[in-house]
Amino acid sequence: TELYAVFGNPIVQSKSPYIHGEFAKQTLQDISYQAIQPPVDQFESTLRTFIKQGAKGANVTAPFKQQAYALCDELSELAQLAGAVNTLTFTDDGKIHGDNTDGVGLVNDLEAQFGLLKDKHVLLIGAGGAARGCILPILQHQVAQLVICNRTHEKAQQLQNVFSDYGNIFAKPIEDLLSPFDLVINSTSAGLTGQLISLPSVIVDKTTDCYDMTYSQHTTVFNQWAKDQKAHKTADGLGMLVGQAAKSFSLWRGVTPNTSPVMEKLRSSLA
């Protein structure tokens, strides 16, 4: 049995042990996957103890993704640019390798829900860690344009500077958004506390698909707003969650699990 875990604080809410357990059953992999909650100031020491126990890998969630990034011996290009790591692999020669699978999880779910990203005009709302991890995978899918807007405009401008070599990316102040997009993605944490971000209704018309990276049992606050604007389709972040896990699992185990049955079970367990 090979050992894996997810590290976060808090961690009780994490669906990762369940998801990886389902993937392991489905693909007949002999793994154990735990949930570990280090004290906020003891992430690294707790992780190193876990590695000494012979562990093969770990997922990292809030608030440790940046710390995980900082302690890696090697980083994938995606993790490097994201400045955050959600997937660690402990190599046989004692190195810690860091990846970020959040963006791939997002992009796979976006294409599953709404069709190909190629040539779409995409608006990304928010410029925090969640946004940053997803920009490169979106640009790599040859979108026509990726506009980033954020309550604090300077942070959107910083992301434009970091990623401008990789595609058509523009930071725009919210008040400069004057026409509809093909796809609007909410990456802000506002919905987690039930807050609605203030956005001009002109960004959504009946052709616009809307995606909320957060998820909940009921329609999220952002998706409800999108529906009120008569958006074409809406989806929440459950598929992204399962998708990032699937990408981690395949990096570790070399097999790609089927995400649909796991999503269906999770969705019904939320209800």
* Binding site residues, ligand ATR, CB under 6 A: 126-131, 150-152, 155, 187-190, 195, 197
Could you tell me if 201 and 229 are in contact, meaning their C-beta atoms sit under 8 angstroms apart? Answer: yes
Q: Is 18 labeled as ligand-binding?
A: no
Active-site residue identified among 65, 206, 230, 265: 65
Q: Is 151 labeled as ligand-binding?
A: yes
Q: Is 201 labeled as ligand-binding?
A: no
We find the least distance from the C-beta atom of residue 245 to ligand ATR, in angstroms, to be 18
SS3 of 80, please? helix
Q: Where are the alpha helices (DSSP H) in 74-124?
A: 77-82, 102-114
Taking the least distance from each CB to ligand ATR, the nearer of 198 and 268 is 198
Q: Are strands 96-99 and 169-171 parallel, antiparallel or unpaired?
A: unpaired
Spell out the SS3 assignment of 184-219.
EEECCCHHHHCCCCCCCHHHCCCCCEEEECCCCCCC
Taking the least distance from each CB to ligand ATR, the nearer of 129 and 243 is 129
CA distance 204 to 211: 12
Taking the least distance from each CB to ligand ATR, the nearer of 47 and 148 is 148
Q: Is 155 labeled as ligand-binding?
A: yes
CA distance 89 to 96: 6
Residue nearest to ligand ATR (CB): 128
We find the least distance from the C-beta atom of residue 124 to ligand ATR, in angstroms, to be 10
- Whole-angstrom CA distances from 149 to 124, 185, 223, 246 are 6, 11, 18, 29
Taking the least distance from each CB to ligand ATR, the nearer of 239 and 257 is 239
Quick one: DSSP state of residue 166?
Answer: G
Taking the least distance from each CB to ligand ATR, the nearer of 11 and 131 is 131
Active site (annotated) includes residue 65? yes
Entry field: residues in the chain: 271
Quick one: DSSP state of residue 90?
Answer: E
Residue 226, both tokens = 């999108």
CB neighbour list of residue 13: distance below 8 Å, 6 or more residues apart? none
Q: Is 57 labeled as ligand-binding?
A: no
Q: Is 237 labeled as ligand-binding?
A: yes
Residues labelled catalytic: 65
Q: Which residues are annotated binding-site positions for shikimate?
A: 14-16, 61, 86, 102, 215, 244
Q: Which residues are annotated binding-site positions for NADP(+)?
A: 77, 126-130, 150-155, 213, 237
Q: Which residues are annotated binding-site positions?
A: 14-16, 61, 77, 86, 102, 126-130, 150-155, 213, 215, 237, 244
